[in-house]
Amino acid sequence: MPQTQQSGSQQNATAETDSGNSNSSQNTSSKFSEYVASIKGKKLSTTKIRQDIFLSLYDNATDNPSIGKWYLFEYDPKFKDQLKVWDEYPLIQVMEFNKGNLLGANIHHLKAKARLGAINNNRFPQSILRYYIPKKADGLFFEVDDLDVPVLSQFPVEKLHHNR
């Protein structure tokens, strides 16, 4: 009997069960899932949430980011007065290095609902690509595990600055 074709959403929702350690296993969860549960119903400031997240990522800090990985960091742009909008706490996937600068897709430049679609499809609109000068990144990039990115993308850690 031929196999039934599954839609894309059915394929994405199907967990592999034969190996017991599938990345899509429902027992695998983001380290931030516990944090979400612990703060549910509490009134916390964005600053406190951001501080907690950076603290939890501290062991994954590096001064040498790699292409394809996700990072959260504090950033002070060299030409911030010339930028229409900039994010003080970008969450980026590093795309490439060019002349000492890094190109990253900063998902904070998307609305919260659109972030998950971009992350899940690993496709980012041109409008969210930004060049960063690593020396202006407070010296540390906090690596975010791929499993944690969707959850972290929904936290209000960004701090967008607008110049008129």
Domain ranges of the chain: 24-162
Higher-pLDDT residue of 19, 29: 29
pLDDT band at 150 (very low <50, low <70, confident <90, very high): very high
CA dist list (Å): 101 to 65, 70, 95, 137: 11, 16, 11, 11
Tens digit of each residue's pLDDT (9 = 90 or more) over 69-125:
999 999 999 999 999 999 999 999 999 999 989 999 999 999 988 999 999 999 999
Give the orientation angle of helix 31-39 with respect to helix 46-57, to 10 degrees.
Answer: 150
